Amino acid sequence: QVQLVQSGAEVRRPGASVKLSCEASGYSRNFNVIHWVRQAPGQRLEWMGWINVGNGNIQYSQNFRGRLTFTWDTPASTAHMELSGLTSEDSTVYYCAAEWDYYFGLWGRGTLVTVSS
Amino acid sequence: QSALTQPRSVSGSPGQSVTISCSGTNSDIGAYNLVSWYQQHPGKAPKLLIYDVIMRPSGVPDRFSGSKSGNTASLTISGLQAEDEADFYCCSYAGLYTWVFGGGTKLTVL
């Protein structure tokens, strides 16, 4: 059974970058697209974009254009999300989620990013 | 892309039914039968409840049901149980390979 295992909490200074990981562990991968979703404390879920781990296609939400980079490490079965130009508004929990035909059937546990000077 | 509109909170007593609405536009909910619902307990990751407007994944009780009319989707929870208390989020495919979530609804079981 596939699980999405996310990396641990991070603390960054304003203006810095952060790179998070999401490993698809388990016997077999039953999805081709990983999405990233974030959630500020007590706030709504915010869709950030996706990467197709099969063909490398990527789409970013317009809200993050220019600051966001998704990659996929095939040998490690791990997706990475890098967000640059961090501000306090980026202090949220970041989730990766596997897409199964337009819905998110499998979620990681989330990674907390704190941006503070 | 604006968030879908959900009520901030709903409540009900054990055994009762509650319905959570999710209002969108004719570019998202109204255009596609690709609405999904997620339940999120405090400090936990979201969990899929409903997909494709009305479909339930295996393991989700049939007390949870989804529907859609026009630009509004709804999640109904019947036979409320204490463990249903959580935040609920709708999500819709919005075309051009983009998705949009609702603002979330806090369900309180009285």
**Bridge pairing between strands B35-40 and B47-50:** antiparallel
Question: Strand ranges (DSSP E) for chain B?
Answer: 9-12, 18-23, 35-40, 47-50, 64-69, 72-77, 86-93, 99-101, 105-109
Tell me the nearest-neighbour CA distance from B15 into chain A, angstroms: 27
With bands split at pLDDT 50, 70 and 90, how would you rate the model's confidence at A109?
Answer: very high
Q: Give the pLDDT score at A28.
A: 65
3-state secondary structure of B43: coil
Tell me the nearest-neighbour CA distance from B48 into chain A, angstroms: 6
For residues B26-55, average pLDDT: 96
CA angle at A105 for the pair A101 and A108, rounded to the nearest 5°: 130
With bands split at pLDDT 50, 70 and 90, how would you rate the model's confidence at A32?
Answer: confident
pLDDT at A93 over 80: yes
- Determine contact: B13 vs chain A, CB below 8 A: no
Q: Choose the closest CB to A46 out of B36, B93, B101.
A: B101
From chain A, the residues in CB contact with B38 under 8 A are 45, 104
Burial B16-30 (b: 16+ CB within 10 A, else e): eebebbbbbbebbbb
Query: How far is residue A49's CA from residue A47's CA, in Å, rounded to a whole number?
Result: 6
From chain B, the residues in CB contact with A105 under 8 A are 48, 51, 57
Cβ contact, residue pair B51, A102, below 8 Å: yes
pLDDT at A87 over 90: yes
A105: which residues sit within 8 A by CB, 6+ positions away?
A: A31, A97, A98, A99, B48, B51, B57
Q: Give the pLDDT score at A25.
A: 85
- Determine contact: B34 vs chain A, CB below 8 A: yes
Percent of chain A with pLDDT over 70: 97
